[in-house]
Amino acid sequence: MNPKRHQRTLRIMLAVAVVAALALAVTASIMKDPRRGEGLLGEVLVSGDGRTITTLNSRAPCQEDPPELVASESRDSVTLVLKESGVDLRPQCNRIDEQITTTLQSPLGTRRLVDPDNGWTIAPFDQKRLANPRYLPPGYAPTTDVQWIDPVQHAQLAPFMWGRNSAPAWTRFYHRAQEKASLSITQIAGHLTVSAAGTPESIHGWAGRLTPDSNNTVTWTNGTYTFIVGTTDQHLHEAELLRIAKQLNP
């Protein structure tokens, strides 16, 4: 993983510990941890019309202003930059993961998406290629707040970090009303090797695996895409997880 990207991801998580150390010393002054003009953290989605770009962002709710995803456009490329205000370290400030969007002046087309940190080309996932979930468990609805109930399992469920050779991927998140995300559907371009762990299952005639443990997942590939349906909801039984997978319209 890119060391700079890793450090930035951990920075907000460390802010809470910093608060405890500074609480006695900070009185009237505001301590800030500026984050301005940095690259992206994870997956990138381009809308069907090519004009809306969505990605994941990790931020602190103590920021003065909401973060912005800014696109700098040229004839050949589009550079994406996350711009964020300073963080007030006085209040308790737990990290929030969320989806953030920007609108291009003209469709992306064949232009490159560029990460400013290293100049790498970002391979976005085309929204037109997303499989349609025809079934969700009762009470579940899409959410753009992707903070999981269990942040450790959150990191295991989907390829949130991308690197130079990452395939296009996108994860959709679902939750019950007033609850944090506990269900995800990840779609990755390409054929990834499915782990031999778990129970063999047939999804649309393709070989898959159900892994029933504290981090329930159904994983399969159809040769074009690899799919991961995962949940941290202990009340969502295996049969429901399989039903979601088998009714995902590829």
Residue range 89-137, pLDDT digits in tens: 565 666 677 788 999 999 999 999 988 877 888 889 999 999 999 999 9
Residue range 160-207, pLDDT digits in tens: 445 556 788 898 989 888 777 788 899 999 877 777 778 899 998 999
98, exposed or middle or buried, with CB in 10 Å at 0-12, 13-18, 19+? middle
Query: How far is CA 180 from each of CA 41, 103, 207, rounded to the nearest angstrom?
Result: 21, 27, 31
| Spatial separation of the C-alpha atoms in residues 36 and 84, rounded to whole Å | 5
| Spatial separation of the C-alpha atoms in residues 151 and 164, rounded to whole Å | 25
| Spatial separation of the C-alpha atoms in residues 94 and 168, rounded to whole Å | 29
Which value, in Å, is the radius of gyration of the alpha carbons in the chain?
19
| Spatial separation of the C-alpha atoms in residues 176 and 248, rounded to whole Å | 19
Report yes or no: 183 and 236 within 8 Å, Cβ to Cβ. Answer: yes
β-partners of residue 81 are: 70
The model's pTM is: 0.74
| Spatial separation of the C-alpha atoms in residues 18 and 15, rounded to whole Å | 5
| Spatial separation of the C-alpha atoms in residues 45 and 123, rounded to whole Å | 9
> Among 37-41, 71-75, 95-99, 123-127, which stretch is predicted with the lowest mean pLDDT?
37-41
